[in-house]
Structure 1
């Protein structure tokens, strides 16, 4: 162990641009290899760690000063090889079956690799340096507006959500928007979106958050006052049966559970809402109904049925929106390794052809017949003679 520590010390005395740990000692070791890449964001350097399994890659960011500690943590028990590159030196470390450590090094010009590692970070909408109070309260930004290293994945996820909305918003020059957020919960993302609309897009918005918990509503209204978000308010109410008589431009639902998403989409359709952004959650309805003789392979295994049923639920929702004149997409906004609840429905009013509408509805009817489904959204629309 002392020999290994000495070699790792020698390697990390130089600024390492990239480092790869590989050649696992036995098949039970979880990761096939682990990469460390030096990154820079807003003049702050850190290491991005990528851990590879057979099918996935997991990411985390670490501070530069714990690189040595992390290397030893991974390599001491589980791996037999390490390769590392600084600007001027290439290192090759190998551990024999008996635990003997061999460290090779040679002079080499790795500056091209350094330039590649320091490529400019993605140009996020919510940039470091902005003083965004909700992100500070969430612990994602420091008080100075810098990303907290351990929260970098969450920072990327929030930006991804904002980007999906921005892709639709920038198609028109909106001066004002009325936005309803169903099932807003603690609403940090609602606050972030208010900041995006008002401070970045310079749109005059009226934004209403709806939830069933009185304490949550009170807290969110207090926070809105503290942030001076004048046109953001929160109300107590149920998605099912919520009445709103003025125009609605955007309906959002973030993790509205099970059929609550269907009631939110139904309301959005009835209001002739311009844009819908919905992240469904906990789709149990189809799972409990799903039956099929000819395709029993999909209902034979519980985990397969659960996942297929959830995907079918969102496919039916998307098709029904398309039938009613919305250009609809199902988008991944969070990497599946972080959360299985990673599908977002984005729908915008558009000129959808009659043929496309009919095909969308026919596909829904075929799926209902094949698997004995009784979808909530389908029934709500049918009761109103919309389908």
Structure 2
């Protein structure tokens, strides 16, 4: 390891490091199959961003200079047999099947050191520094189009939502009739306004969007802004999700952070309307908390916080299976959480019309095993 340590130390100290790639697993039990390290600049200080590549996801963490060498030694000694070190003075291939007797091969440099800026300017659907009427009215932007610093998380969340909508556009009807969308539990309607702006003003789609919420002051506030901005086709209604009735079908149903079984009622209505796209971020999944029963898991479930988190996972898993059973392709994705809740799992359901045959059996097995009767059964 001395040769490798010397090479790594010199590379880090002289600032010539561009990237390190660890590959060639020593054991099949290691969960990730590749690790990449590169220097980044965060608030004028150099850190090292580590990217772990799994079979179905990628995760990141940042290390300082003192943490980097021990971390690399750990990967070489216990996890990876091959290291590719890209530097400004050359490319190094380290073959470390035996870490104490590595083979180090050097080639001319193939890469150039680029900017270390960690926070590169992201191309948002709604860009910063460009005035956007509803964002100004809702206090996210100033009149010049600059995002107000304390609302930057909200700005990123809005754009993340629009990215998800953009990915689902091909699944929505193409005909000329208005695209009908219902946002259940719209709240202050940041995302409802964003949806209208993106589809109507940016893409030129003919839309009818309804935002539904229980709070009269919120509905009055949003209705006033929609009227002031001349957002024709956007309306806000006072009402409860469970009691909402409308014979006209919705093409898309959005429900973000609807509490407990309110999410179920929104999903039930969406499926009843044959909605092409459903975007749902569930919240406060309490319904099954007192129903769940498992002798095997009792030692774990005696801890309330673990039971609560598992309850949320079970609830959303059952919802997903029920949607698959009704002909939806379901993906659970990460969504930026709101200020008032850390819930950040979105159920994205796309209508295919092809029910998944095994979903019903899987649903019934889970339901029977945990002795639960969820509201989503009404589907």
| TM category, shorter | 0.5 to 0.7
Question: Structure 1 stretches of 5 or more lacking a match?
Answer: 1-34, 40-46, 59-111, 382-387
CA contact (8 A) 2:251 2:275 kept: yes
Distance, in Å, in 2 between the alignment partners of 1:119 and 1:36 is 8
CA offset digits 1:219-238 (Å, max 9, x no partner):
21111101111111111221
TM-score (norm 2): 0.67
The equivalent residue for 2:130 is 130
How many pairs align?
289
- Coordinate RMSD, CA, aligned: 3.6
CA contact (8 A) 1:298 1:308 kept: no
Secondary structure (helix, strand or coil) at the match of 1:287 reads coil
The equivalent residue for 2:152 is 152
Change (3 A) 1:265 1:188: same
Shift of 1:49: 10
Distance, in Å, in 1 between the alignment partners of 2:350 and 2:251 is 10
Shift of 1:184: 1.3
CA contact (8 A) 1:285 1:375 kept: yes
- 1:341-380 matches, within 5 Å, as 341-352=343-354, 357-378=356-377, 380=378
Shift of 1:343: 0.8
The equivalent residue for 2:31 is none
The equivalent residue for 2:168 is 168
Distance, in Å, in 2 between the alignment partners of 1:372 and 1:172 is 37
Change (3 A) 1:214 1:153: closer
Shift of 1:203: 0.7
- 1:1-387 matches, within 5 Å, as 37=42, 115-117=115-117, 121-171=121-171, 174=174, 175=176, 176-334=178-336, 340-352=342-354, 357-378=356-377, 380-381=378-379
CA offset digits 1:107-165 (Å, max 9, x no partner):
xxxxx766342885222211124322232234432221123344333322221111111
Change (3 A) 1:137 1:159: same
CA contact (8 A) 1:56 1:337 kept: no
Shift of 1:319: 0.8
Distance, in Å, in 2 between the alignment partners of 1:284 and 1:49 is 41
The equivalent residue for 1:94 is none
Distance, in Å, in 1 between the alignment partners of 2:366 and 2:354 is 22
Distance, in Å, in 2 between the alignment partners of 1:221 and 1:282 is 28
Change (3 A) 1:170 1:201: farther
Distance, in Å, in 1 between the alignment partners of 2:151 and 2:136 is 11
Shift of 1:362: 1.4
Secondary structure (helix, strand or coil) at the match of 1:346 reads strand
CA contact (8 A) 2:173 2:179 kept: no
Distance, in Å, in 2 between the alignment partners of 1:217 and 1:226 is 14
Distance, in Å, in 1 between the alignment partners of 2:116 and 2:339 is 26
CA contact (8 A) 2:257 2:282 kept: yes
CA offset digits 1:253-284 (Å, max 9, x no partner):
11111000000110111111111111111110
CA contact (8 A) 1:132 1:192 kept: no
CA contact (8 A) 2:172 2:277 kept: no
Question: Structure 2 stretches of 5 or more lacking a match?
Answer: 1-39, 51-58, 63-111
TM-score (norm 1): 0.66
Distance, in Å, in 2 between the alignment partners of 1:335 and 1:211 is 19
